[in-house]
Amino acid sequence: MVVGASAGIGRAFAIRAGKEGARLVLAARRTDKLDEVVAEAGGGAAVAVDVRNPADCQRLAEVSGQTLGNVDILLASSGYAPLKMFADTTIDDWRDVFETNVIGVHEVIRAHLPVLVPSAIVAAMSSDSVRHPHAALGAYSSSKAALERCLVSWRLEKPGYRFACVEVGGTVPTDFTSHFDPGLLDTALNDWLSRGLVQETRMTPEAVADALVGTFAGAIDSPDVGLESIVLKSPSAPMRV
């Protein structure tokens, strides 16, 4: 089951997994984009959901159970990032980012507990901005830090399931920056460059997805192997200005 399957890494993962023969449930808000993914992946059940709505999360889990019987991989790739300087970050920004990136992921996992296989891989996408703070992404990186701590609590209380934090560095193209203010993005990018936070070459969603599909597929038949932390970043040197 892939939530956030309509774009970026989630989309690329779903397509690669489908082409490898996986049976899929694909979730996102945009049904037209989901239909495209189903066609390219070669099949799958598309479910329009907003993870901020608990009823949608519950309905998604019901579809997962009806379609797959049991879920062996759950990938949470949905996310929201407001580009705002910290002093300009509003209450609404905080609500939107935490309801999507933390509470929504929690509700998806919680709703799927009855249909997870005993050694299921439950993976959530995090960001290198947690360990390497980026200007104008304070609310986003805070939400991802909270998500990472949520995974620690899940591991503590639900041993046996393999809760994996997937930290991802710069990846293009994705929809991540599509709603960013161009002027502020230019200012932020200059700051990121000055602090060595941008690699000379960046990963593609397809390359990241290929690595994850291979990793998860290899771990499916080895339930005693945990996948607590996966870090994917370009091996290139940082850009210098």
Contact yes or no for 195/134 (Cβ under 8 A): no
Token duo for residue 40: 């390219």
**Based on the structure, what is the number of domains in the chain?**
1
Burial 181-199 (b: 16+ CB within 10 A, else e): eeeeeeebbeebeeeebbb
Looking at the domain assignment, is residue 241 inside a domain? no
Please list the rounded mean pLDDT of every run of 10 residues in the chain (241 residues): 97 98 96 96 97 98 98 96 96 97 98 98 97 96 98 98 97 84 94 95 97 96 95 94 70
Looking at the domain assignment, is residue 238 inside a domain? no
Task: Name every residue whose Cβ is closer than 8 Å to that of residue 235 and which is 6 or more positions away in sequence.
Answer: none
- pLDDT at position 177 is 78
- pLDDT at position 240 is 76
Domain enclosing residue 151, as ranges? 2-232
- pLDDT at position 58 is 98
Looking at the domain assignment, is residue 240 inside a domain? no
User: Smallest Cα–Cα separation from 30: which of 178, 189, 187?
Assistant: 178
Element (H, E) at 167: strand 162-168
Catalytic residue among 13, 80, 140, 163: 140
Alpha-carbon dihedral of residues 215, 220, 225, 228, nearest 10 degrees? Answer: 60
Residue 203 one-letter amino acid = M
**Whole-angstrom distance, CA of residue 155 vs CA of residue 67:** 26
Looking at the domain assignment, is residue 8 inside a domain? yes
Residue 149 one-letter amino acid = R
Q: Is 140 an active-site residue?
A: yes
Let me know how long the chain is: 241
Looking at the domain assignment, is residue 239 inside a domain? no
Q: What is the CATH number of the domain that holds 189?
A: 3.40.50.720
